[in-house]
Amino acid sequence: MAREAVPVMKRQPIYQGDTSKQAMALMFTVDWGEEHLSAILDTLREYQVKATFFPTGQWASRHPNLLKRIADEGHEIGNHGYSHPHPDKLSVEENKNKRDIKEGEKIISKITGVRPRLYSPPYGECNPKVLTAAQELGYKLIMWTINPGDYLPGTRGEDILNTVLSKKEPGALVLLHPVAPTAKILPTLIQELQKNGYNPIPVSELLPKWGMGSGEAEEACSIFNMVMCLAPNRGRGSSGGERSFGPPHGSLYRTGALCQGALHPPSSRQHHQAR
């Protein structure tokens, strides 16, 4: 029997903000790579760019001073869970996934003084159990539209730069990690984005421009906790690493929809280090 089609809310219009400013977001997931974070933060400060960081609770507990610096410098901090498990394998009924999210939240809140409201699931896993857990805890579950694969072995800074610039669009969310190639190419990437009229802003500031912040969209968001999921088009960079990209016209899923089939995040094989 054919599988029932997944309900999808098309991203129409794709972007509701001022296209002359072409806002987009840089989001860093952090469970390792702390040795590169100071350089990344220095670059963001130099170019007056605010990003969104999604640390795990276990990383935050090991590096509270780095997390506090991220917060003190005005960057947004979301939640990447506590121990970086595979969320799809955790049971909502047993509260395992909830416990992982809540433990990460507890540590991040204690260090920064602010409770996070955005959740980026490890490995990009977002089956209905994950969506339900995030919704019941009051989170917006955040995915991405551009994944340059900076965590893949052999990835060069030029690969990251070329991927982001070739896939850029107003409203894009760019997934990055604190790795050496990203730290090295970040100044050039920001310069090129700004040269092309792009203004990197935190994820929460971008959501209203997706129609997720006011009026009917705000009501829909509170009811369905709308989730952005990736529909990858796979390609290979010059380093041979496999990368996945969000489509020019991605989709918004409502809570309870499946992130699988025709529209799904990268597999854990592709994303084994995407922390």
Summarised one tens digit per residue, pLDDT across range 161-211 is: 999 999 998 889 999 999 999 999 999 999 999 999 999 999 999 888 765
Angle of helix 64-72 versus helix 96-112 axis, rounded to 10: 70
Are 49 and 200 spatial neighbours (Cβ–Cβ below 8 Å)? yes
pLDDT at position 105 over 60: yes
Predicted local distance difference test score (pLDDT) of residue 43 = 98
Beta bridge partners of 77: 53
What pLDDT, in 10s, does the model give residues 35-62? 999 999 999 999 999 999 999 999 999 9
- Of the spans 98-102, 105-109, 203-207, which averages the highest pLDDT? 105-109
pLDDT at position 106 over 50: yes
Q: Among 59-68, 119-128, 254-263, 265-274, which is the least confidently predicted range? A: 254-263
Predicted local distance difference test score (pLDDT) of residue 158 = 97
pLDDT at position 268 over 80: no
pTM (2 d.p.): 0.76
Predicted local distance difference test score (pLDDT) of residue 215 = 38
150: tokens are 């900076």
Predicted local distance difference test score (pLDDT) of residue 147 = 93
CATH fold of the domain at 14-253:
TIM Barrel (3.20.20)
Predicted local distance difference test score (pLDDT) of residue 166 = 95
pLDDT confidence tier of residue 131, bands split at 50, 70 and 90:
confident
Predicted local distance difference test score (pLDDT) of residue 267 = 33
Mean pLDDT of 12-39: 80
pLDDT confidence tier of residue 223, bands split at 50, 70 and 90:
very low
pLDDT at position 269 over 90: no
User: What Rg, from alpha-carbon coordinates, does the chain have?
Assistant: 17
Predicted local distance difference test score (pLDDT) of residue 257 = 29
Predicted local distance difference test score (pLDDT) of residue 96 = 63
